[in-house]
């Protein structure tokens, strides 16, 4: 009988000294490595990194269960084994436990914060048919012939289109400018057309964040960027839908804690949108007339941003970034 606090992930025949990870845990296992044990119940992301880049997959687990996967050298990924073989391994699981790595308890809290809105429904909607998240995109140029062949079969994540602009026939230039400066109308339109709830939008944002941060998937970076910029520029929405943004701030807080610093400051990564969007959002929620929960969570976020990005209170104010409003007679 397996005595542990969570579930057991038995990984067979993984090539030694290659990168493998689960959630925030990254390993370069040796020849004797057989998996990870005492994994908390819930959503997880298993990935490997070999010659063609990273490949990962999300999966849900139940407490005290045993999941068994075997490495397939042809497609360079883990596959599930058949039921008969699975029963044999489960009956002898005690033999493998000493060769397994313990899941680090200290990383579980942050992982939950990064993924708490990702539901089975969201996984079903977004995941490629294969379930695999690749660290490559069909839109990226590939140099070698080997990678060109690989690129033709890259799984596609089914992200929801996020409009960047709001326009309706007959709108004045002034209205167009105002609607696209305050993106609340775009947010409501996006939720109405692509999601059943605001929480599903947060779940897709978290899915994209993990897929680019850990899985290094470029399409996921673009999707996360689009949702992030949208949610950080909804002044009217913050006032009228405070329950939405009370949920958004903890999601954003966890992501800010996890963002690599070089991503935020490197201009070649087109990442200036991160600081400018954070400044915009903090200026919106720094308002004593807002819902009390929003104020408290907003102040906590502001302190984190000032600390993590080493900027001052004055740096949070940037009048040059304000839009030029177009007025018409």
pLDDT tens-digit map of 39-96 = 999 999 999 987 767 899 999 887 778 999 999 988 888 999 999 999 999 999 999 9
pLDDT on residue 232: 96
Higher pLDDT pick, 151 / 215:
215
In the chain, which residues fall in CATH 1.25.40.550? 133-321
Q: Which CATH number fits domain 133-321: 3.40.140.10, 1.25.40.550, 1.10.3720.10, 3.40.50.720?
A: 1.25.40.550
Instruction: Note the pLDDT of residue 145.
Output: 40
Mean pLDDT of the chain: 84
Q: What percent of the chain has pLDDT over 90?
A: 60
**pLDDT on residue 261:** 75
Element (H, E) at 238: helix 235-240
| 143 pLDDT above the threshold of 50 | no
Q: Note the pTM of the prediction, 2 decimals.
A: 0.86
User: In this predicted structure, what is the pLDDT of residue 328?
Assistant: 40
Specify the pLDDT at position 142.
41
Q: In sequence order, what E strands does the chain have?
A: 7-12, 19-22, 25-27, 35-39, 42-50, 53-61, 66-72, 77-80, 101-102, 133-134
Residues of the chain with CATH 2.60.34.20: 7-105
Res. 201: pLDDT tops 60: yes
- pLDDT band per the 50, 70, 90 thresholds, residue 154: confident
- Mean pLDDT of all residues in 135-141: 56
pLDDT at 253: 97
pLDDT band at 144 (very low <50, low <70, confident <90, very high): very low
- Which pLDDT band holds residue 316 (cuts at 50, 70, 90)? low
For the chain, state the CA radius of gyration.
22
pLDDT for residue 113 is more than 60: yes
Task: List, in sequence order, every residue forming a beta bridge with 238; answer none if it has no partner.
Answer: none
Name beta bridge partners: 70. Answer: 12, 79
Q: Residue 54's pLDDT is what?
A: 87
Where residue 149 falls among pLDDT bands split at 50, 70, 90?
very low
pLDDT band at 17 (very low <50, low <70, confident <90, very high): confident
Question: What pLDDT does 171 receive?
Answer: 54
pLDDT mean over 32-37 = 95
Q: Which of 68, 184, 78 is nearest to 130 (CA)?
A: 78
> Please, which pLDDT band fits residue 159 given cuts at 50, 70 and 90?
very high
pLDDT of residue 313: 59
pLDDT at 172: 53
- Find the angle CA(302)-CA(305)-CA(310) to the nearest 5 degrees: 130
Quote the pLDDT of residue 324: 40
Q: Are 22 and 46 in contact (CB under 8 A)?
A: yes
Q: At what angle do helices 108-115 and 198-213 cross, to 10 degrees?
A: 130
The backbone torsions φ and ψ at residue 131, rounded to the nearest 5 degrees and listed phi first, read 80, -5
pLDDT of residue 9: 95
Tell me the C-alpha distance between 103 and 40, whole Å: 8
Region 277-288 average pLDDT = 93
The domain defined by 7-105 folds into Substrate Binding Domain Of DNAk; Chain A, domain 1 (2.60.34)
């Amino acid at each position: 009988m397996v005595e542990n606090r969570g579930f057991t992930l038995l990984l067979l025949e993984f090539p030694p000294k290659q990168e493998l990870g689960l959630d925030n845990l990254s390993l370069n296992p040796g020849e004797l490595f057989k998996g990870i044990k005492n994994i908390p119940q819930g959503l997880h992301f298993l990935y490997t990194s070999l010659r063609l880049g990273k490949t990962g997959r999300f999966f849900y687990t139940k407490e005290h269960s045993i999941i068994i996967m075997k490495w397939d050298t042809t497609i360079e990924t883990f596959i599930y084994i058949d039921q008969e073989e699975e029963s044999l391994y489960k009956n002898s699981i005690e033999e493998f436990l000493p060769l397994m790595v313990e899941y680090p308890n200290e990383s579980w809290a942050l992982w939950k914060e990064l993924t708490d809105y990702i539901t089975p429904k969201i996984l079903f909607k977004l995941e490629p048919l294969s379930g695999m998240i690749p660290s490559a995109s069909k839109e990226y140029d590939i140099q070698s012939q080997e990678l060109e062949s690989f690129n033709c079969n890259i799984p596609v994540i089914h992200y929801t289109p996020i409009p960047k602009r709001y326009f309706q026939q007959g709108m004045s230039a002034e209205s167009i400018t105002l609607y696209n400066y305050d993106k609340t109308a775009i947010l409501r339109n996006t939720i109405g057309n692509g999601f059943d709830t605001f929480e599903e939008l947060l779940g897709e944002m978290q899915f994209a964040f993990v897929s680019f941060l850990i899985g290094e998937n470029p399409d996921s970076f673009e999707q996360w960027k689009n949702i992030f910029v949208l949610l950080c520029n909804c002044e009217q929405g913050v006032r009228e839908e405070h329950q939405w943004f009370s949920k958004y701030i903890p999601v954003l807080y966890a992501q800010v804690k996890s963002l690599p610093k070089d991503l935020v400051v490197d201009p070649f990564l087109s990442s200036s949108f991160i600081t400018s969007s954070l400044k915009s959002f903090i200026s919106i929620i720094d308002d004593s007339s807002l819902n009390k929960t929003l104020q408290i969570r907003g102040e906590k976020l502001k302190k984190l941003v000032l600390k993590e990005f080493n900027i001052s209170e004055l740096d949070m104010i940037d009048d040059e970034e304000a839009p030029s409003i177009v007025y018409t007679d």
